[in-house]
Amino acid sequence: MHTLQQILNQKETNEIWSVTPTITVFEAIQVMADKRAGALLVMDGVKLEGIISERDYAREVILKGRSSKKTLVGEIMSADVITVAPIDSVQSALELMTQHRIRHLPVVDGTTVVGVLSIGDLVKDVISAQQSTIEQLENYIRT
């Protein structure tokens, strides 16, 4: 399996989509819809402040009857962000995601956010590695 940096390098785009904690949740949801993203990083300049996901929106706005046009991202974001390093393995990232029941992981090199990986990105790599192993075994059996 690959390192997380290798996965980031293989992505079509490694654009980091983020919002500030001072915009409304409505505006953040609009960005998610425009980018077809399930989560956005919450950044204050280059500093990672949190993450906001569709799940946060559902739990903290819809279910609590709050207004998405009056509630600020900083009020509902997850501030304790689980992050990984570029040198970490796909396996360790998947274990973190399972353990914490999250679907998006910011990849941080020191204090710099270098990308975001979704569970889909990681599962795609696992499937690709398994397919490659299967093909190698089939070739070995044939020879």
Alpha-carbon gap, residue 73 to 19, rounded angstroms? 8
Tell how strand 39-44 and strand 47-53 pair up.
Answer: antiparallel
Alpha-carbon gap, residue 123 to 137, rounded angstroms? 21
Task: Output the DSSP codes for 34-65.
Answer: HHT-SEEEEEETTEEEEEEEHHHHIIIIITTT
Q: Whole-model pTM?
A: 0.85
Residue 120: which H helix or E strand, with range? helix 119-142
Walk along the chain (143 residues) and give the pLDDT tens digit of each residue.
689 999 999 887 888 999 999 999 999 999 999 999 999 999 999 999 999 999 999 999 999 999 999 999 999 999 999 999 999 999 999 999 999 999 999 999 999 999 999 999 999 988 777 776 677 777 778 77
pLDDT number for residue 136: 75
pLDDT number for residue 134: 74
pLDDT number for residue 1: 65
The CATH architecture of the domain made up of 4-142 is: Roll (3.10)
